[in-house]
């Protein structure tokens, strides 16, 4: 699935920041595009997001290029372009358990065993370790022996 795109133009930076926040909330990522004189505004909008509003916002890619357009007088005009793709950070496994414990303090019932199981699975996926079932362990022991 491709990320939604916010095209930066003549509006104030705050308009694009809000549009990006909405897209991030809905999809987890957004692509900010601009060309010509709007490029600094696009960079500014991403910087406002990164430094002031979304802790840990990840810049996935920055692509720069040139588009060839036809000017008012019919001549070919080259215009610089930028595309910045950003996404929300992935929650760290320890944050899952920490948030569950915080919820318990406010009287929200949380299955801590389930939260710790989720943490364990996230850690395994991150490290690329598959959970072995009892049957698989037995087969490995038989093959080794």
Q: What is the pLDDT of residues 8-48, one digit of tens each?
A: 999 999 999 999 988 888 888 999 999 999 999 999 999 99
pTM of the model: 0.61
Contact 16, 86 (CB under 8 A): no
Q: What is the pLDDT of residue 134?
A: 46
Same domain (yes/no): 9, 74 = yes
Domain range spanning residue 33?
A: 5-87
**Alpha-carbon dihedral sign for residues 88, 92, 97, 98:** negative
Q: How far apart are CA 58 and CA 136, in angstroms?
A: 38
Domain count, the chain: 2
Low-confidence ranges of the chain (pLDDT < 50): 130-137, 141
Residue 12's CATH number: 3.30.110.20
Q: Does a structural domain hold residue 142?
A: no
Residue 21 covered by a domain: yes
How much is the pLDDT for 90?
73
Nearest residue to 3 (alpha-carbon basis) of 19, 23, 18: 23
The answer as to whether 94 is a domain residue is yes
């Amino acid at each position: 699935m491709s990320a939604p795109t916010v095209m930066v133009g003549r509006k104030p930076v705050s308009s694009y920041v809000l549009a990006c926040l909405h897209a991030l909330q809905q999809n987890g990522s957004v692509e900010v595009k601009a060309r010509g004189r709007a490029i600094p505004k696009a960079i500014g909008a991403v910087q406002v997001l990164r430094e002031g509003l979304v802790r840990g916002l990840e810049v996935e890619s920055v692509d720069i290029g040139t588009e060839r357009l036809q000017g008012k007088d019919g001549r070919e005009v080259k215009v610089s372009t930028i595309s910045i793709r950003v996404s929300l950070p992935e929650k760290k496994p320890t944050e899952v358990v920490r948030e569950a414990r915080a919820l318990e303090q406010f009287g929200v019932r949380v299955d801590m065993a389930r939260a710790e199981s989720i943490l364990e699975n996230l850690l395994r996926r991150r490290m690329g370790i598959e959970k072995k079932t009892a049957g698989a362990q037995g087969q490995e022991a038989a093959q080794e022996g």
